[in-house]
Amino acid sequence: MKNIALLGATGSIGTNTVDVVMAYPELFKIVSLTFHSNSEKGAELIERLKPRYVGVGSEKIKAELTDRFPDIEFGVGAEGLVGAAIYEAVDVVLTAITGSVGLLPTMAAIEVGKDIALANKETLVMAGKWVMEAAEKNNVNILPVDSEHSAIFQCLEGQKVDNLKELVITASGGSFRDLTRDELKTVTLEQALNHPNWSMGKKITIDSSTMMNKGLEVIEAHWLFGTDYDKIKVVLHKESIVHSMIALKDGAYLAQMGPSDMREPIQYALTYPDRLPIKNELAFDLTQIGQLNFEPMDFNRFPMLDLAFTVGKKGGAYPTVYNAANEIAATSFIDGKISYLQIEQFVQRAVDHYQETTEVTLSEVIEIDKQTRTIVERWIKEEGRL
């Protein structure tokens, strides 16, 4: 029996994880979980999963739920996230919350020796160096849930590090892949949220369309696999059938394929190195799919992908700034405060504005994350929607 802490149980990855867990109740148990604001769904999950510890977003939700579930221990805010992550019985923490709030509970869990099934890519983008160092020191596995990284992880199994030539990350192109930059000026939130292949949370769906998501994934791959940026390539693959590939020295390519179903990488992160059938498997017939297409990425069309390589190579807190500015800008677009193209403008401006002079520590990175949010929030307030 594997005991799981599920951070972000009410979200898209959270829901898929609950499906995986419920399909094998004899193998998996969610002993602690967190959610932020969706108390209706949160309460439903508590009824179904009967966790022992629950982290919630506010004192008000805690008070309501304590009356209903007097036997459960509740925690609020950051304390609730950490409480769920380090809960004693937990073997593996599945980080399915959005944004850099994922860092603190992930680090806390690593420090007490819990394995991490990592969906929350923002954590690695912001603090990959420290997360990976702590994982090594505490002998903790970081198992990728992101489909591209799970694909690469699967392809790398049994390979000597020396054999690797490069990682090839595939990108679906997101909701606006067929629009020109000029056409992007007038797009709406509703159009942006209409992803061609994947059903996901709002923020990551916006990030897919701006190619921020792929940018974050490039930096995530750099830290997860210890691969230089010069050896990470991105190709446009509109079908989202090949989830990613590795190229080996001798010219061989290994690719991992499958339907667009997040249950597969989630389940593999929980069963690794074993595999189990997926219950209610989605249809997958290559003869129906017929053909797979790969195109080069246009860095002028998707400047946020180009910027990911720039901030990644600069290192230090540059990726933190890139991520923090995007978290504020993407959320502001979702809230109707800025237009679509302003997302990129604010991210670019935050990166240009930041001047790193010395090597940074983890606590400085956390401070820079906060400062960047404050600055971008101020810009948005002052300048508003263009």
The response to whether 201 counts as a known ligand-binding position is yes
In terms of Cβ atoms closer than 10 Å to its own Cβ (0-12, 13-18, 19+), residue 161 is: exposed
Q: Are 149 and 224 in contact (CB under 8 A)?
A: yes
User: What is the maximum alpha-carbon separation in the chain?
Assistant: 63
The CB-nearest residue to ligand NDP is: 11
| Interface segment toward ligand NDP; rule CB under 6 A; list 3-11, 292-300, 328-336, 367-375 | 3-11
Residues with Cβ within 8 Å of residue 300, at least 6 apart in sequence: 181
Per partner kind, with CB cut-offs from 5 to 8 A, the member of Mg ion, ligand NDP, none near residue 204 is ligand NDP
Q: Torsion-angle region of residue 290: left (phi > 0), alpha (psi -120 to 50) or beta?
A: left
Task: Pick from 29, 52, 62, 121 the residue near ligand NDP by CB under 6 A.
Answer: 121
Q: How many other C-beta atoms lie within 10 A of the C-beta of residue 385?
A: 11
Angle at 171 between CA 335 and CA 230, to 5 degrees: 110
Per partner kind, with CB cut-offs from 5 to 8 A, the member of ligand NDP, Mg ion, none near residue 218 is none
Structure tokens at 158: 């049994």
Shortest spacing between CB 309 and Mg ion, in angstroms: 17
By the rule CB under 5 A, 264 interacts with Mg ion: no
β-strand pairing of 28-34 with 115-118: unpaired
Shortest spacing between CB 119 and ligand NDP, in angstroms: 4
Across-strand partners of 95?
7, 118
Structure tokens at 75: 């925690």
Shortest spacing between CB 189 and ligand NDP, in angstroms: 15
Per partner kind, with CB cut-offs from 5 to 8 A, the member of ligand NDP, Mg ion, none near residue 11 is ligand NDP
Shortest spacing between CB 146 and Mg ion, in angstroms: 4
The response to whether 208 counts as a known ligand-binding position is yes
Q: In angstroms, what CA-CA distances link 57 with 60, 75, 106, 178, 373?
A: 9, 9, 17, 38, 20
Shortest spacing between CB 159 and Mg ion, in angstroms: 21
* Binding characters for ligand NDP, 135-174, by CB under 6 A (x = yes): -----------x----------------------------
Per partner kind, with CB cut-offs from 5 to 8 A, the member of Mg ion, ligand NDP, none near residue 188 is none
In the region spanning residues 250 to 269, those forming contacts with ligand NDP, defined by CB under 6 A, are 262
Closest CA to 273 of 113, 385, 154, 119: 154
Task: Pick from 4, 97, 155, 266 the residue near ligand NDP by CB under 6 A.
Answer: 97
Task: Pick from 10, 227, 244, 339 the residue near ligand NDP by CB under 6 A.
Answer: 10
* Sequence-distant contacts of 18-21: CB under 8 A, at least 24 apart: 18/45, 18/48, 18/49, 19/263, 19/279, 20/263, 20/266, 20/267, 20/270, 21/49
Shortest spacing between CB 38 and ligand NDP, in angstroms: 3
Q: What is the per-residue burial (b if ≥16 Cβ within 10 Å, else e) of 249-275?
A: eeeeebbbbbbbbbbbbbbbbbbbeee
The response to whether 175 counts as a known ligand-binding position is no
Nearer to ligand NDP, 1 or 78 (CB): 78
The response to whether 32 counts as a known ligand-binding position is no
Nearer to ligand NDP, 132 or 334 (CB): 334
Q: Are 78 and 57 in contact (CB under 8 A)?
A: no
In the region spanning residues 116 to 175, those forming contacts with Mg ion, defined by CB under 5 A, are 146-148
Q: What residues are designated binding site for 1-deoxy-D-xylulose 5-phosphate? A: 121, 147-148, 172, 195, 208, 213-214, 217
User: Which residues of this chain interact with ligand NDP, rule CB under 6 A?
Assistant: 8-14, 35-38, 57, 96-98, 101, 119-122, 146, 198, 200-204, 262
